Each structure stands twice: as structure tokens, then as C-alpha cells.
Structure 1
Amino acid sequence: MKYSEEIQKLLPLGYIYLVILGILKESIFYYQLGINILKYSTIMDILISPIAEFTSNPITLGFIVSLFIFHYYLPKIFLKYRNNKTFQKLSELKSTEKLSEEETKNYYIFASFKMFAVILLSFFIGTGVAGGYSTIHSIRKNKVDYNYTLNYNSGESEQIYLISTNSIYYFYVQKGNKSIKIAPIASIKNIEKTLKVGILAK
């Protein structure tokens, strides 16, 4: 069986795993802000959470794509150096001397998939912990940029620091108030963002 066929068999399980990681990351992030994000999320928010994380910025997207490409070809690298004991030891692989050629290929595919899964787990947990800590620390120290303006359907407006948003809620901090607010998108007429000049401006 070809490598691509084995990978295709693992894709459904892989996406379920990504969804679980997305839920874990969001839960860790918002827990530090005192919010149970699952109460404010739809099924669609949960399903697209890993895709939203991957496309959050070009660096993250490039890292994930590179990681995927590397682990796609990793089984072939394992197979090429299967007689190199030093390489096998460093990669924490077991001996394949008693395995058939097909069993060896399958073992290396699953070993690569497992390594990829562990790296993704570390990535999602790390970004969740670091992101939540950085956000709450910046809010407490008043080191955030209030570069958004929320215009409500009622005609009122608020200058805010936008923490995040999903399909039905905005999560933000109003200027002059360190309390985190949650507003339904349906109550918002529009949102304005102050543009910054410069290549690195967000």
C-alpha cells in the first residue's frame, strides 16, 4: 500500500484529533480569563477552531504546512536509515528486523503520525497557556491597544481592546475598565478598527 493511501486513512482521525486540540487550546486560553468558552461557542466554532488557529497569522500557517510536509516524508526517511542504529535510537524507534517490508512501512507511518500528534499537542497547549497569560497580564497592566470601536444598534459606541470573537460573540475590554465584556454580535451594528502605519502594523 502506498504512503499516500495510508495517510488518507488517517486523515479523518487526524481531523477529529485537531478539533479536540482546538477545544483544549480555547478552553485553556479562556479559562485564564475566567470564561467557559464552550458555553459561548457553537458547533461550527468548535469544528473550525483548528483551522482558525492555523490561519491566525502567516508564521503559524507556514510552520504547520512545513511540519505536515516534513512528517509526510518522514516514514521514507525512517525506512532509508532503518539500519542506522544511532538514527533509530535518536528517533526512539524499535527494531524492525523481525517485521516484513509492509509491516515496517506501516510502523514508520504510525511512528511519524505519533510524532506529529505530540508536536501539535505541545503547540496547541503552549499557545493556549502563553496566549491566555499574556492577554490577562496585558489587561491588568493596561498595556493593550484600544484600537477598535464597537457601534451598537442602539446608537451607543465603545472604544475597546478586542480579545477575540466567534460566530455569535465579541470578547473585549472597554477602555477605562479592566473587566472583560461579552457582547452578542447581533447587538452590534458595526466595528471600526484604527489603522496603524507601517509594515509591522497589525
Structure 2
Amino acid sequence: MIENIKKPTFLKGSIQEYIYLSYLYLLIVGTLSYSIYYTFLGINIIKYSTLLDILLSPIVILTDNIKIPLFMGGYILIIIIVIWWSQKRIKKNLKKEVTQERQSKLKKKYASLQYIKFLIPIIGTLGFYIGYALGGGYKTNNKIKTGDFKVNKLIEFTDGNMQKVKLIELNSLYVFYVSENEKKVSISPISGNIKTIHNLE
């Protein structure tokens, strides 16, 4: 009875295929999230990014505030555990003497749970990245417009000029920041332009 429960076709791939497709999905969603976030700040981030910056964008977002992905990951894990437990109960019930009609219903329920278990991480990840972009982008833009932010870095340029800034982000080529008493994002190349970036208490 249990053996007759067919796995969905998309769940028959190898571990390597799952890893590849998972990262490809993360890359697409992460790049989309990255672009949406900076659109709020009036920046086309793709123009200021190298291929490596884009490839690392999903990881950069995840590590920006580690509490959020940990919470999301825990929530998704709990749902998957509940679904796994439900499937285990269905398998147990299939071992019992049940009617053909009951068997058919249990197998359909088991199969639907397989699809849900597969979709939950996909939907949860999409929700996290897009939510981060919309919420974070709007919040950062609003703080810049109202001047409601604290400077957290001191940038020392190669010409000797020093500026207290609120650091927004930096990648391999550029640093994005808002200077003290300013209400707009400035973009400066790192190479040949910025000597050091100091933390401010």
C-alpha cells in the first residue's frame, strides 16, 4: 500500500540538482530583492555591481540582519516537521485494514502534502526577500528624507578629506552612504579614492 504512493516527478532529482536549482532560485530572488531595495533610493544597483557582487547578493541580504532569516528558517522548519508528521500518520493508517476508497483518499492527501512541503520553502524564501526589499527600502529612504539616521562611519579619502556618514552599503567597487546633514545618497568609487573607513561609536 505504502509503496504505491508515487513521488511527484520534480522530487526525483539528485541532491546535486537540488543544490544547483536552489542556489539558482536564491540568485534570481536575491538579485530581484537587491534591485527593488535600491530602487527606493533612486539607484540602479546593477550598474554599480560586478558579477561577483550579484552572485553574492543573496548571502549579503541574509547576513544583513541574521535574526530575520533565522526566524523565517525556524518557521519554515516547523511547518515542514508538521507536514512530515502528518505524512507519517497517513502511512500508519495505510497499514491498517481500510477500504479502497479510504486508501485512495489517504494517498491523495499524502501526495498533496508532498507538494506543499516542496512549495513552503519556495514561497517562504520569496516572501522574505521581497519583504526585505520593500520594507527595508522604504524605511531607509524615509530615514534619509527626514534626516532621521545616525552617522556610523568616518570615511577618509585619499585627498585627505574626511566625512562622517551613514553607511548604506559597499560592494567590491563602490561605497554608498549619506553624509552628515545631507538627505541624499552619495556613491563613491573605492579604488584610488577611499583610504580607510572607520567605525564611529
TM-score category (smaller protein): 0.7 to 0.9
- State yes or no: 1:128 paired with 2:136: no
- Alpha-carbon separation, structure 2, partners of 1:55 and 1:7: 28
- Indicate which of 169, 176, 187 corresponds to 2:174: 169
1:88 match: none
Shift of 1:188: 0.8
Q: 1:78-93, aligned counterparts within 5 Å?
A: 78-82=86-90
- Indicate which of 25, 28, 31 corresponds to 1:23: 31
TM-score by length of 1: 0.76
Checking the alignment, whether the CA contact within 8 Å between 2:83 and 2:113 is kept in structure 1 is yes
One-letter amino acid of the structure 2 residue matched with residue 31 of structure 1: T
1:34 match: 42
Shift of 1:45: 1.2
Checking the alignment, whether the CA contact within 8 Å between 2:155 and 2:197 is kept in structure 1 is yes
- Alpha-carbon separation, structure 1, partners of 2:22 and 2:114: 13
Moved over 3 A (4+): 4-7, 67-75, 98-101, 107-110
1:46 match: 54
One-letter amino acid of the structure 2 residue matched with residue 13 of structure 1: L
Structure 2: gaps (5+ residues): 1-6, 92-101
2:119 match: 114
Identity, in percent, stands at: 33
Secondary structure (helix, strand or coil) at the match of 1:130 reads helix
Checking the alignment, whether the CA contact within 8 Å between 1:32 and 1:136 is kept in structure 2 is yes
- Name the larger-Rg structure: 2
One-letter amino acid of the structure 1 residue matched with residue 74 of structure 2: S
Secondary structure (helix, strand or coil) at the match of 1:55 reads helix
2:197 match: 191
Query: Number of paired residues?
Result: 181
Secondary structure (helix, strand or coil) at the match of 1:33 reads coil
Structure 1: gaps (5+ residues): 84-94, 196-202
- Indicate which of 63, 69, 74 corresponds to 1:66: 74
2:85 match: 77
